[in-house]
Amino acid sequence: MPRTLTEYRVFIGSPGGLDEERKGFRATIDRFNEVHGNPTGVVFAAVGWEETLGGVGRPQALINEDLRGCDYAVFVLHDRWGSPTGNGKTSGTEEEWDLALELYAANTIRNIGLFFKDVDAARLRDAGPQLIKVLDFKKAIEAERKHLFKAYGHADEFCDTLERHLARWLRDHGAGRAASLSIGPDGPSVAAESHSLAVETAKPGAAETAAPSLAYWLGEAKALLELTPPDAQGALFCAERAVALATNDVDWAGAENLRGAARLHLNDLPGAIETFEAIVVRLDAATTPAEQERLATALFNKGATLSVLGRSDEAIALYDEVIARFGSATEPALREPIAKALVNKGVTLGAFKRGDEAIAAYDDVIARFGSAPEPEIKALVDKAQLWRDA
């Protein structure tokens, strides 16, 4: 029986020398369609210069027309930049990138992914004109702080990240919203049945092209921090977008806590402390449970950062402040920061051979939260019991 498939076209732009990535790009899309796409009625189609038909006119102009018909774009760079295209651009990739940005601004392209393959240290020491152009482009992207990118070491890593992109784009389709510029967390298999399928190319409608919401950026930042290892640079990018969209203290503090966590993972410890301290100052007189939860989290996070710096007495003082200020609270949102503060206090005391005090902290966790139903708190109780018995 005929059924309708929604097809999203994904463009790949890259200079020469990345054949493995271009092959992996197509293989990943084919595999994803087979496992995830077809059962949901959504498929992705790979588009690149390989699919561009010959014709009259400037070759790059033909590739550009294919890009204009795509819903997503992926750009991959390594140590080559490419050659001038005859249209005032220094390379085909530059022309495609600039066009993709125009299409994104016009809500025609839903998402742009940018990847940089790691360059060997010896090559960096002796960078020629081609590599210098790539490095200059990367520096410009970092300075503008407008576009997220992902660095990777091997084509397999690129394909793994691409698959997470596809999963997110598939979720975006189901949620009826457009994705934003982000890297994250998260062989046409329909060809044999094409005679019985009605295929439509999806383009964002008016309802789908709204700017990403605060909740979106917060969710992306949290998901990127939960990856193994965390994508801290990506989380920082998303958290900063959330900070800019926050319109009240609770949302602002939630975004800032994520921003501080990202800075901690990036080893910007002074920056992380500054971020958490800003929350403490602003919410010092917090009265609502939501504000108090953000404040407790910021105090805990600042303590954890100070502990990394070896400033253990200051860290313990902050854990004690969390317990003193909120220890009698019954609100569910405040229970986890209290439990975390007690566990971290015990670990810090134990590291300094203050065993009796550490055991007292662990006993406090068990006494307060031993029957807690929340999985996150149960895990903290188990950790306290383990450390106490060690």
Question: Which pLDDT belongs to residue 211?
Answer: 63
Distance separating alpha carbons of residues 340 and 359, to the nearest angstrom: 15
Looking at every residue in the chain, the average pLDDT score rounds to 83
Does the pLDDT value for residue 198 go beyond 50? no
Number of C-beta neighbours around residue 354 at 10 A:
16
Structure tokens at 315: 């860290």
How confident is the model over 27-34, as a mean pLDDT? 90
How confident is the model over 57-69, as a mean pLDDT? 82
How confident is the model over 262-271, as a mean pLDDT? 90
One-letter amino acid of 246: A
Question: Which pLDDT belongs to residue 183?
Answer: 28
Percent of the residues in the chain that have a pLDDT greater than 70, as a whole number:
86
Split at pLDDT 50, 70, 90, the class of 157 is very high
Question: Which pLDDT belongs to residue 143?
Answer: 82
CB of 178 closer than 8 Å to CB of 210: yes
How confident is the model over 302-319, as a mean pLDDT? 92
Question: Which pLDDT belongs to residue 119?
Answer: 93
Give CA separation, 249 vs 205, 210, 274, 326, in Å.
Answer: 33, 24, 17, 19
- Residues 88, 94, 100, 105: is their CA dihedral positive or negative? negative
Does the pLDDT value for residue 375 go beyond 60? yes
Question: Which pLDDT belongs to residue 1?
Answer: 46
Domains annotated on the chain, with CATH: 3-201 (3.40.50), 315-390 (no CATH)
Question: Which pLDDT belongs to residue 37?
Answer: 66
Q: Who has greater pLDDT, 175 or 17? A: 17
Does the pLDDT value for residue 196 go beyond 50? no
Please choose, from the candidates 120, 121, 118, 24, the residue with its C-alpha nearest in 3D space to the C-alpha of residue 78.
118
How confident is the model over 347-376, as a mean pLDDT? 90
In terms of C-beta density within 10 A (0-12 exposed, 13-18 middle, 19 or more buried), how is residue 374 classed?
Answer: middle
Question: Which pLDDT belongs to residue 174?
Answer: 55
Structure tokens at 386: 């383990």
Does the pLDDT value for residue 51 go beyond 80? no
Distance separating alpha carbons of residues 53 and 139, to the nearest angstrom: 34
Distance separating alpha carbons of residues 248 and 182, to the nearest angstrom: 25
